[in-house]
Amino acid sequence: MSSGITPSQTVAETDNGILWRFGNATKPPLLIVYSLVNQPSILDLTPGRSMIARLVDGGYCVYLLAWQPPGYARRFVSLSDYIRGDICDALVHIHHTHGQPAHLLGVCQGGVLALCYAALASGYSNTDARQIRSLTTLATPWDTGHAEDQLAELARGIDFQALVKATGNIAGEPLAAVFASLKPFALGPRRYSHLNTVMAQGEKAVAEFMRMERWMYDGPDLAGQAFAEFAEQIYQNNALANGNLVLDGTSITLDAIHVPVFSAYASDDHLVPPRSAQGLSTLIQSDCTEVAVAGGHLGLFISTRAHRELYPVLLDWLTAH
């Protein structure tokens, strides 16, 4: 993330991540948890489209938990290690720095991790440093039990335990190819058909195009055990929606979440279709606001529409909570 456009500094390390801080440390804290699958640089990629910069300008001290690619020795890192270990440690650091709990914001797969953490945090007292102030999820696949979810359909016939036993960790490059195959024309011929137009717009436009290209195909390797757990529990068993998710012997149920929730999803998302992301309010017992934004998966983070229509609403909601 040091190559992003918003000034930042490393403030802490967790077992499997680095905690970056953006903005004024006197402002209310907000922690972003990103997906394990891609690089978080997409959240701070270009001026005018940076989600991180928008949150900083909106009056928040933004923290990002950037996951470190696992070496072979970390192939047994579990989802519970990320959730009950790294996310918890980051929130405790933030609480000690600011003297108050942070807003928690999960993006895509990171939203599932954040939902799980919020459910666990319901057991902490209001004075506990592990507590959170609110939860935001963006394009989060919490309900995958339907045919519209292409990733879930792909996952149903795969023996993930056998896969990780054979490979250890999961290489990022093949996963990027899988994601691209779900929308091959839009991410292939149609995307590159506009390259002449991009080049005619000058060096800045070309640089932004190339940064996006690098991001799309620069996915990190994934810890084998965590990858298998996520694929089996979320995509094969739809365990979070069905209320039978178990991580390291602990049951995770969405009705345990007691903090206010803001959930946004994209109406034309091919990775996390609307049916996979909407409807949290039917299970969560606390106040839950849901917002749909026209466009695709990445548009929810970087499009001008999202910056015009979504982020003002989110910032108003955060202020109110």
What residue ranges do the domains of the chain occupy? 8-156+226-320, 171-220
- 288 carries an active-site annotation: no
Q: Which one has a higher pLDDT value, 183 or 89?
A: 89
pLDDT score for 179: 59
Q: Summarize the confidence of residues 28-46 as an average pLDDT.
A: 91
Assess whether pLDDT exceeds 60 at residue 181: no
Assess whether pLDDT exceeds 50 at residue 188: no
CB-based burial, 33-66: b 16+ in 10 Å, e otherwise: bbbbbbbbbbbbbbeebbbbbbbbebebbbbbbb
The Cα angle at residue 85 between residues 140 and 132, in degrees rounded to 5: 60
Backbone phi and psi for residue 218, each to the nearest 5 degrees, phi listed first: -120, 45
- Per-residue pLDDT band for 176 (boundaries 50, 70, 90) equals low
Q: Summarize the confidence of residues 237-261 as an average pLDDT.
A: 94
pLDDT score for 7: 94
Assess whether pLDDT exceeds 50 at residue 185: no
pLDDT score for 184: 41
| Residues across the chain | 321
CA distance 232 to 237: 6
CA 87 from centre of chain: 12
> In sequence order, what are the residues at sequence separation of 6 or more whose Cβ sits closer than 8 angstroms to the Cβ of residue 249?
none
Assess whether pLDDT exceeds 80 at residue 192: no
Which CATH superfamily is 8-156+226-320 part of? Alpha/Beta hydrolase fold, catalytic domain (3.40.50.1820)
CB atoms within 10 A of CB 122: 16
From 61, 108, 116, 288, the catalytic residue: 108
pLDDT digits (tens, 9 = 90+) for 95-107: 999 999 999 999 9
Assess whether pLDDT exceeds 90 at residue 234: yes
Q: Which of 154, 228, 178 is nearest to 38 (CA)?
A: 178
Q: Summarize the confidence of residues 144-149 as an average pLDDT.
A: 92
Q: Which amino acid is at 111?
A: G
> Which of left, alpha, beta for 305 (phi over 0: left; psi -120 to 50: alpha)?
alpha
pLDDT digits (tens, 9 = 90+) for 38-68: 888 889 988 888 999 999 999 999 999 999 9
Quick one: how many helices (H) and strands (E) in the chain? 16, 10
Assess whether pLDDT exceeds 50 at residue 186: no
- Per-residue pLDDT band for 203 (boundaries 50, 70, 90) equals low
**Long-range interactions of 163-169: CB distance < 8 A, separation 24+:** 163/228, 164/75, 164/224, 164/225, 164/227, 164/228, 167/224, 168/72, 168/75, 168/224, 169/70, 169/72, 169/74, 169/75, 169/221, 169/222, 169/223, 169/224, 169/227
CB-based burial, 161-183: b 16+ in 10 Å, e otherwise: eeebeeebbbebeebbeebeeeb
| Global confidence as pTM | 0.90
pLDDT digits (tens, 9 = 90+) for 260-277: 999 999 999 989 999 999
Q: Which one has a higher pLDDT value, 58 or 199?
A: 58
Side-chain half-sphere of 93: how many Cα atoms within 13 Å?
Answer: 21
Structure tokens at 95: 């609480």
> In sequence order, what are the residues at sequence separation of 6 or more whose Cβ sits closer than 8 angstroms to the Cβ of residue 102?
28, 29, 30, 31, 63, 91, 94, 95, 132, 133
Structure tokens at 155: 């996952």
